[in-house]
Each structure stands twice: as C-alpha cells, then as structure tokens.
Amino acid sequence: MLGYCLNVHPTQTLAEVAAALRGPVRVVKSRVSPDAPLPVGLRLSAEAAADPVAAAALLGRIFAEEGYLAYTMNGFPYGPFHGTPVKEAVYEPDWTTPERRRYTADLAAVMAALVPEGEIATISTVPGGFAPKAQGRAAEIADGLLHMVADLVALERATGRTVALALEPEPWCLLDTTADAIAFFRDHLFTDAAAARLAASADLSVAAARDALPRHLGLCLDVCHMAVAYEAPGPTLRALAGAGVPIHKLQLSAALRVERLDDAARTRLAAFRDAIYLHQVVVRAADGTMRRFLDLPEALAARDLDPAGEWRVHFHLPVFAAPIPPLGSTRDVLERVLALHRDRPIARHLEVETYTWDVLPAEFRQHDVADGIAKEIAWVSQELC
C-alpha cells in the first residue's frame, strides 16, 4: 500500500488536519488516484489527537467523503512541526515518559477506528530518544515500549484491529543505525524476560506474548536515514531478516549528497541551512573513516575534513529530483530498495515522506506542494512497476 505522509502540511490542530484533507490532499488524489481510494499517511500532533473519539469521528467522515484510505500514522513529532524551530525537540518526549505513551495510545485508538477490517495499522515513532539524552537509558526506553505493546494488545482485544508500532532509526538517536536497532531488539525487546513481562501486564501466556511482540513492534525503515548512514540496502535487509526484526513500514525518501566538497559545492550546500529542522551530516573520507555532525552549519564550519570526502546530509529531497552537480541525491539507494521490494515485498506499508518542501532552496521549488507530491507518488509507482 503506497501513500504519502501528511507531515508535509502544517497540521498542528485537528481543524488544520481537516483543512489539509479537504485541500491539498484532495488535489493530490485528483492527480494520482481519481477513480480509486488514495492511501493517506496521517500525522496528528498531541494537540490534534487529545480527543481520539472526536478525531476518529471527524477523520472517518472526511475519509469516506473524499475517498481516502487510512493505513499508517506518523507518530514521531509530538508538537509543532512547521513554522517554528523543531531541531532536537522533535525527539521529545522520549519513550521513558508517560506523555509519549499516552500520545501514541491516542493515535492507536484513532487508527483502530479508521482502518478497514482485516487491515493492520502502523504508527512510526521516535527511535527511543535523542542519543545524548538517551544513552544509558535503554532499559527504561524498552520498559516504555513494552507497556505500549500491552496497550496495543488490549486495543486489539477490544476492537479486532491490529496496530503495529514502528521505531524509526535516525542519525543522532538511540537507534542511530540498523545495527543499533538489531542490538536493541535482541537485548531488550525480543527476549524471554521481555515476553514474560508482557505476559504478566497483558494477561497473556508467555508463548502468546512472544508472538505479540513482533506483531505489535518493529521498525519503520526510512531510506533517507539509511543512506545517510551509508547502509547498503541488501545487507541491511538481510541483517534485519536474520535478526527477526520486522519492518512494519517503509518510508520512501532521498537524502542530499555531495561527492566532493569544493568551493562551488560548499556555496550550494549552504543554501540548505534552515532554522526549523536538524540536518545531520555524515562525511566519509577517502580512507573510509567517518565524521558525524549534528547539523549542517556545524559540518560546514569544520575545516579539517578530507576535501575528497563524500557528504550525506539528512535533508529529504523530492524523490524524483536530480540535483544539478556538484549536488546530488541518494535516489540510487531508493531505487535499489524499490527494486528489492519488487522482488520480495519489504513491508506492507510504503509512504513517501518529503516534509521539507517549504524549506527547499529555490532551485527545487518548480512545483507547488500538491503537484510535487503527486509527481513523487507517480515516480515511485513507476519504479514499482
């Protein structure tokens, strides 16, 4: 199932979500799916989801009227996501807090009311928390996640709908890379002790709890994040499969790339600095060593980097974009992931997630947002064929 994420639109309040669904999302549907339901990846802030019964009722009416299909939710950003600095605040509250659990439970209740019978809903979420704050707290984070799985088991009993929580590895988070995710699941979540704790809290047998863990908990694999970490698709997917960590959701995105930072590239790259989002950078020198920076301005200020080193920047470019050299994108990584998905499906839910349209440099703003999103979906659809 392929759709796109509403986090591209300013949707802090429930009224703004409704306006987006009746405005730009309607335009996107007319471009790419005029005669069939359009899967829509929702994004509700904690404010918009505070009354999940009212939210589900309103969204259910709009989805029925407009011909949309609910399948996934972006539960990563808790608060505002547009028009105000987000930076490190996007990781708060983390999975040690009751606020993150309550927020996610509200989102799950909305999704359980919206998804068709027999379908599974997914919610992507913070990969534990921001690394500088989360280090040494893996056990606390796992505890929060296990309590959330117990909530999802109870929701499944009550509604007959399965909701899967998908942790989204991202640079500078507790789960920074796929290897981090595999180790976290191995050591804290998919263990006999975790199954026993879930069994006790969710009134399950240990065997049923062991089955419930991967049903309700896995990864959201964001291709941009994977590419920034220089992870090759084939080995990454094989490692996850070998570790038994399910990919519940695949976010389709491409990162900014510079093969060699000369003066021209430096000038062009500086245009991607903004005050809203973090743009983590990983620079790989010619000898293979890597330097990691929290944000693009910090990387640009460093003067001791290998001039022949490759830069990969966590800045979501339109997936169809072919930047004018010396800039480039990691679209080739996305193409490889989609080719692998054609051969053997990676996840049930695919979502285009380019949320940066309003901070892109002028050279990338040749489409309005709705037309650009429609072009992205069309590009992905063509790759999948």
Place of tokens 């051969």: 343
Beta strands 2-5 and 254-258 are unpaired
* Percentages (nearest 5) of helix, strand, coil residues in the chain: 50, 20, 35
For the stretch 91-145, pLDDT in tens is: 999 999 999 999 999 999 999 999 988 899 999 999 999 999 999 999 999 999 9
For the stretch 307-322, pLDDT in tens is: 999 999 999 999 999 9
Lowest mean pLDDT among 251-265, 299-313, 356-370: 356-370
For the stretch 1-12, pLDDT in tens is: 999 999 999 999
- pLDDT at residue 365, as a whole number: 81
For the stretch 333-374, pLDDT in tens is: 999 999 999 999 999 999 999 999 999 998 888 778 999 999
CA dihedral over 312, 317, 321, 326, signed as positive or negative: negative
Distance CA 309, CA 305 (A): 7
Percent of the chain scoring above 70 in pLDDT: 100
Half-sphere exposure of 308 (CA within 13 A, CB side): 5
- pLDDT at residue 118, as a whole number: 87
- Tokens of residue 4, six digits: 């796109």
For the stretch 154-182, pLDDT in tens is: 999 999 999 999 999 999 999 999 999 99
Cα Dmax for the chain: 62
* 263 three-state secondary structure: helix
Tell me the mean pLDDT in the region 221-228: 98
Distance CA 164, CA 249 (A): 9
Q: Is 227 a residue whose pLDDT tops 80? A: yes
Mean pLDDT over all residues of the chain?
Answer: 97
- Report the CATH architecture of 2-254+330-384: Alpha-Beta Barrel (3.20)
Neighbours of 366 (CB within 10 A): 12
- pLDDT at residue 363, as a whole number: 84
- Tokens of residue 156, six digits: 């499944």
For the stretch 26-37, pLDDT in tens is: 999 999 999 999
- Tokens of residue 87, six digits: 């930076």
Report residue 332's pLDDT band, with 50, 70 and 90 as the boundaries.
very high
Report residue 290's pLDDT band, with 50, 70 and 90 as the boundaries.
very high
